[in-house]
Chain A
Amino acid sequence: MEFVYIFIPLLPLLAFVVLALGGSRFPSDSHKIGIPAIAGSFILSILAFVQVLKNGPIDVPLYTLLESGNLTIDLGLHIDQLTVLLLLLVTGVSGVVHLYSSRYMIDDPKYNRFFAVIALFTFSMLMVVMSRNLLMLYFFWEVMGLCSYLLISHAADRKSAGQAATKAFLVNAVADLGFGLGVILAFRTFGTLDIPQILELAPAMANDTVNVLAWMGLDLHIRSVTLISLLLFTGVMGKSAQIPFHVWLPFAMEAPTPVSALIHAATMVNAGPFLLVRLSPLIILSPFAMTVIFIIGATTAVFAGLVSLTQSDIKKILAYSTMSQIGFMVMACGLGAFAVAIFHLLAHGCYKAFFFLSTGNALRSVEQGLGHGDHEHPVSDDMGILYGGALLLALLPPLVLFSGSYEYLWGVTGFISATIGFKVIGLITVFVTSQYLFKGVTSLFVHGPKTYWPASGQHSLETQSVRPQLLNGSILTGLFLATVFVGGLLTLFWSWFADFLAPALTFPGVTLGEGAVEHGFPFWLVVSLGVAIAGWVYAYSTQVRSQHQVSRASRISNRWYVLFWNKFYVDEIYDTYIVNPIIRLAQRFSRSAETREMRQSMWKFSLQTMPLSDMLVFAKPRLIGHNILFLIFGFVFIMSLLYILS
């Protein structure tokens, strides 16, 4: 019976294979393969949810990938409470995006490629959340990156798309270096890569240390759990666009909007927090790692929020907002509030998907020559949805974080001093979030969209008129309502949620106590809601007063503004201090190899003989070389004397 769950990832995979191999035969019907597959997965996910709810985790063994010495990699699916929630999220959002795209992308020349890749993506994301083995997880973690690359470079004609895709992949590759190292270290520490086994063994190995400077002959012992956690967290930082690996996400907005919704907001970037939660029993053993995670998450949350304030492109604003939200989840993980992070993750996934999709709609209408002040008629509907969504998103963090059992949950790690920092950062983020979202939505219609579809002839008014807006509108509305419903429900039944998730997070020594719910609806929730609304109002008021904040700002704030607007110059710093030096070094190597080749003209053997050869003593242009004869001369003389003297 269990093996039926193999079809959860298998259906999208089959869809991918069919589309990739034969997609060109039915170019405009590709969605007819993708959508049923995803729908099937979604239904199976619901079944799995019910099953898990009833009987607890499910294990589906697959096959043995490889055996080499003491290394054995058994692939298998592990479906527990955590997985099942993410399965629902992924298949759900993916299904919606499939539906949406079937209309949105209809006149795209690479229609079938698009569906093939998102099917592959869905497959690999499902495998990431279901995989039982760390290597398998890493495996699909990378495949997701590949899909992201393929989708960012979807509009390959644009140079910027190609650059963005390369950048996204490379930043992730650097980060995954840490991930890979973490996998290897985990194997060397635990002797296995099976995640449940590792989590079981972890407490026993808590005091195991690694001498990281052994190769220099020095002594610096670090606990291996700390090291593994940090290394794996590096991968998380890449995939979830945490500082300092965040640079790729804004550029990834080169992808079509449904992709941004699916990958760069709702699912792939969520893999990071998911991994942290999945490995929570391991990470929690290392307070140092927890602190680092907290700091990175918090910094990202604030930083991304600040930057997004200054952006004028709606998709970039959303990208930074995503970063900020995920920073929030990571921060929660760093505090030990894993359930909160997951809750936030699910809610954010739904909201963000909705938000991006509606932005796509809005962009479509603006872009058809209707933007820039000519937006009264077609825009107004969408404007309402956008504003509503923006408000909701702004209120999400406080709703999640300052409700329920957060205090208890993050109190688990026990460092009280962080409490104040957490709260301050939380409030700042809330304030900033509500502000930038508002501004983002308005700026879309004030400044006009900066990127997305090029003004090519592809999207003519004819195709525009064919597209039924109604369907998309209804999907969005449905999604919106569903998210509100689910969000509200979960908020209200928080304790149920926490209890459901608890088995996946349990680790020896810590148990979720009763009474977490009693702390619900405290003072802080009210405060944060207030702050959010204050931000909203502030943004609205400034927006009304002036559209050009720069001109009005004082000199100091002006400077800050420029700093934010330039995203703290992180891209420039990377280019100057990392990318360019490496390329320059490579070119220097290459040049020196070339000049060496030039110098070795010996290889080319110019047609003249080498002058040196004429300088050799034995080649005098005389009939009888003197040297030879004098040699003989001398010999004869000496030998004759020898004989005579004998």
Chain B
Amino acid sequence: MADILLYRPHFVAFIILFLLGIYIMVVCLNLVKKLIGMYIMQTSIMLFFITLAVKEDSTIPIILPSVTALAPEAYANPLPHVLMLTAIVVGVSTLGVSLAMVIALYREYNTLEEDQILEKMK
């Protein structure tokens, strides 16, 4: 176990964040808190992707005309970053939609607690 913590600390962090997000979504009854959990979960995945791109002693993958190009190994992998940029957009729009929904729910039921909403729906 110690090895893992030592050599792959980023994976451990990702797992912890992921599980934490899910835990919040399950356990918290407040609708906004659930969204927080959801966002934590999404973020953990971004973290995972970004860590995939990391190389030791590498630089950012930008080739300026003024700088001579290095060997490909010297750059960090740019693709995950690009992907995560998109994923962030997606996540943000999801969050936006969900918050709008929560607002509508609040207008409808005057509460954000799951129990109470379910109670009122009966």
Contacts and interface: CB of A to CB of B under 8 A. Distances in A.
| Contact between A and B in the complex (any CB pair below 8 Å) | yes
A215 interface: no
Nearest to A623: B114
B11 A624 contact: no
Contact of B22 (A621, A632, A640, A643): A632
A624 B25 contact: yes
B26 interface: yes
A624 B15 contact: no
Interface string B1-29: 00010001001100100110011011000
Interface string A620-646: 011110100110110011001001110
Given A629-B22, A633-B22, A640 B118 contact: no
A363 B12 CA distance: 118
Of B12, B19, B26, the most chain A CB neighbours within 10 A belong to B26
A643 B26 contact: no
Contact of A630 (B8, B15, B26): B26
Of A622, A623, A624, the most chain B CB neighbours within 10 A belong to A623
Contacts of B23: 633
Of B8, B11, B15, B114, the most chain A CB neighbours within 10 A belong to B15
Contacts of A623: 114, 118
A575 B95 CA distance: 87
A630 B118 CA distance: 22
Interface residues of B, number: 14
A640 B16 CA distance: 10
Contacts of A640: 11, 15
Contacts of A645: 4
Given A623-B114, A644-B4, A644-B8, A637 B19 contact: yes
Contact of B25 (A621, A629, A636, A637): A629
Contacts of B114: 622-623
A632 B22 CA distance: 9
Given A629-B25, A629-B26, A621 B18 contact: no
A637 B26 contact: no
B3 to A, nearest CB: 9
A643 B18 contact: no
Interface in A505-524: none
Interface in B64-96: none
Given A623-B114, A637-B19, A643 B25 contact: no
Contacts of B25: 624, 629
SS of A interface (majority): helix
Nearest to B23: A633
B40 to A, nearest CB: 14
A626 B26 contact: yes
A624 B12 CA distance: 26
B86 to A, nearest CB: 23
B19 A643 contact: no
Contacts of A644: 4, 8, 11-12
Interface in A592-646: 621-624, 626, 629-630, 632-633, 636-637, 640, 643-645
Contacts of B22: 629, 632-633, 636
Nearest to B25: A624
Contacts of A636: 15, 18-19, 22
Contacts of B4: 644-645
A643 B26 CA distance: 25
Contact of B118 (A621, A629, A633, A637): A621
Nearest to B12: A644
Nearest to B121: A621
Interface string B86-118: 000000000000000000000000000010001
B48 to A, nearest CB: 10
A624 B30 CA distance: 12
A621 B22 CA distance: 19
Contacts of A624: 25-26, 34
A592 B15 CA distance: 64
A505 to B, nearest CB: 97
Of A621, A632, A640, the most chain B CB neighbours within 10 A belong to A640
A637 B4 CA distance: 15
A633 B25 CA distance: 11
Contacts of B8: 644
Contacts of B34: 624
A240 B101 CA distance: 95
Of A633, A643, A644, the most chain B CB neighbours within 10 A belong to A644
B28 to A, nearest CB: 10
A210 to B, nearest CB: 79
Contacts of A632: 22
A557 B38 CA distance: 108
A626 B28 CA distance: 11
A299 to B, nearest CB: 84
B14 to A, nearest CB: 8
A141 B118 CA distance: 82
A594 B87 CA distance: 65
A637 B23 CA distance: 12
Interface string B26-70: 100000001000000000000000000000000000000000000
The 3 closest A-B pairs by CB, nearest first: A629-B26, A640-B15, A644-B4
Interface of A: 621-624, 626, 629-630, 632-633, 636-637, 640, 643-645
13 contacts: A621-B118, A622-B114, A622-B118, A624-B25, A624-B34, A629-B26, A630-B26, A633-B23, A636-B18, A640-B11, A643-B11, A644-B4, A644-B11
Given A624-B25, A645-B4, 12 more contacts: A622-B114, A624-B26, A629-B22, A629-B26, A630-B26, A633-B23, A633-B26, A636-B22, A640-B11, A643-B11, A644-B8, A644-B11
Interface of B: 4, 8, 11-12, 15, 18-19, 22-23, 25-26, 34, 114, 118
